[in-house]
A and B are shown apart, each in its own frame.
Chain A
């Protein structure tokens, strides 16, 4: 059985002060001083292995599981799940195809796209032709819209036929519902919301994401199982360039059972009102903002720049800003051309949702704020004083430059409600 092993002889030789220091190595209070064994590890252990790395040599040891179960080393290739609504693929699909092709290239692996739906032949051909991937399609009237059970059945059938080494799924609502069900049926690993992916020569997919609810990142691997599954959010990777030349390569497959214990009763399409993910410029407010009055200043700046206002989690929790404007791991991932963060400290959960922006200007009074680790421009100072000055100077500059430009005028008059 895999786990941590403590060298008890060594543990018994430690002084009280040393035992105390060893206990403090663990951020999760999992190391306990034990009169019998010297030291023991309790069930709070997260297997982060930092005690092995930082403790006295040989005191902690990681014991691997001897057997390799379920691993099919012959599996090759990367498969991407195609999410679609009303005959249109979700753009995260293309970003994942682009990434999959980039990862697969050095190993000469094929890239597959999996399309589950009803009469989606045209979409299958289009994707195959535009991105030069082999599309597998499962068509059935019961698969018209996402339902967890029949979609899982089709997904698992596809994996059984193609045996891909890695599977990438968009971390959309559907992806986050479907992928865990598929991974559990296959008893394989699934890493949610990866912010970076690498492929080792041996085919191991390195999945990088924020971990332990802290300001730290983890490299996660699935060494003993295939396929290795990962979900990735929209706008984390770049969309690839379309190719026009390729001849579509489409393979049809059937699924044995499309039964569902869930009966769809109807759908209501959502208004495409606000989506901060589509904004080219974003002004993001953080914990420094505590009132609607302060937020209206951010809105003023946003209007001057033609930007959308967004925020970090505390503002949504405080009820100051609507959830649709939240950036981060539990909000939206954005990739604007420019983002100006105001009074955002920058926990990894936040930065994971915006660090791929082309230009990041961060304003914070604390020069050690973690947001500065991702910022291209680190502005240290009082957020509201700077904001007031900035609004003043930009207003002056734009009125001087753009006299009588009605288009701009209209933009200035726009006051969207964001509360």
Chain B
């Protein structure tokens, strides 16, 4: 089985803020990391490989430094790595991202199964997986919580649909997004980590894709546009309570009584 795992490099912290005086986004100074949800996707692929045999290819889109995320994936068990990087891909929303990934996968890979993490920690949208499946014209199932059986023609999974858990037989090729807790992600292997430095990453640009129209990618290919970004304002009419813990507790008790919670 050929498995593709989609990964993304995300900021190592969520502490990006806007400087109130200059309006400039303040840098975090903390390094980028592999999206934590992708660890579950990688582990799912590795588990399938161990049980049924498979080749795992990770794919990512991002600036050149996103290669680090691919190397991290090598250390966690990926066999091959593909990176989509091109100025034409910059400023992509989820649609343009999925379209580029679909292009990279569609033109470069033989695949049976695509595994994505549930969502990323920087965007939190959970949209790229289903969107990617649509562009590749393959079925998808989101929120998969277990892989029940994998064959050459289909895969059996259970997915958390909110009100219920459903069991499904999905024809291959297909895409799944996996929830946290499907498997416990392994720690990176030190041996693999050393080897990963030498491992080759296939780098693809716009010209390497089947559709080379730059209007389909990056900002130009993104229907959604950021009109403005801003820091949320503090609400007016706030009551500030400070003092000794004893005083604070008395004030809070008083307020809770006023609000009829006591």
Contacts and interface: CB of A to CB of B under 8 A. Distances in A.
Q: Is B a genuine binding partner of A?
A: yes
Contacts of B238: 372, 375-378
A70 to B, nearest CB: 8
B126 A176 contact: yes
Contacts of A29: 63
A413 interface: no
Interface string A53-86: 1100000000001000000000000000000011
A173 B118 CA distance: 11
Contacts of B224: 189-191, 207, 220-222
20 contacts: A29-B63, A41-B87, A42-B64, A43-B87, A47-B91, A50-B24, A54-B22, A54-B24, A145-B166, A176-B130, A183-B131, A190-B224, A211-B226, A221-B227, A261-B139, A262-B174, A330-B121, A377-B252, A389-B249, A390-B249
Contacts of A30: 63, 90
A210 to B, nearest CB: 8
A-B residue pairs, 10 tightest by C-beta: A214-B16, A213-B122, A189-B223, A47-B91, A27-B25, A389-B249, A192-B125, A189-B224, A385-B245, A177-B142
Interface in B59-111: 62-65, 85-91, 93-95, 98
Interface residues of A, number: 113
B181 to A, nearest CB: 7
Contacts of A217: 229-232
Contact of A261 (B22, B25, B135, B174): B174
Main secondary structure of the interface of B (DSSP, over half): mixed
Contacts, number: 340
Contacts of A216: 16-18, 25, 229-232
A27 B235 contact: no
B134 A181 contact: yes
Interface in B175-205: 180-181
Contacts of B138: 261
A44 interface: yes
Interface string A224-255: 11000000000000000000000000000000
A162 interface: no
B252 A390 contact: yes
Given A262-B170, A267-B166, 11 more contacts: A53-B23, A173-B143, A176-B126, A267-B164, A281-B261, A351-B232, A372-B234, A378-B239, A378-B240, A386-B248, A397-B253
Interface of A: 1-3, 24-30, 41-50, 53-54, 65, 85-86, 90, 145-146, 148-149, 152, 172-174, 176-181, 183-185, 187-193, 206-207, 210-225, 260-270, 281, 305, 317, 323, 329-330, 338, 347-349, 351, 359, 361, 372-382, 385-386, 388-390, 392-394, 397-398
Nearest to B121: A213
Interface of B: 10-11, 14-18, 22-28, 36, 62-65, 85-91, 93-95, 98, 119, 121-131, 133-135, 138-143, 156, 160-171, 174, 180-181, 214-215, 218-220, 222-235, 237-243, 245-246, 248-250, 252-253, 255-257, 259, 261-262
B227 A3 contact: no
A393 B167 CA distance: 51
Contact of B164 (A152, A263, A269): A269
Contacts of A86: 163
B25 A174 contact: no
A260 to B, nearest CB: 7
B261 A305 contact: yes
B227 to A, nearest CB: 4
A374 B232 CA distance: 9
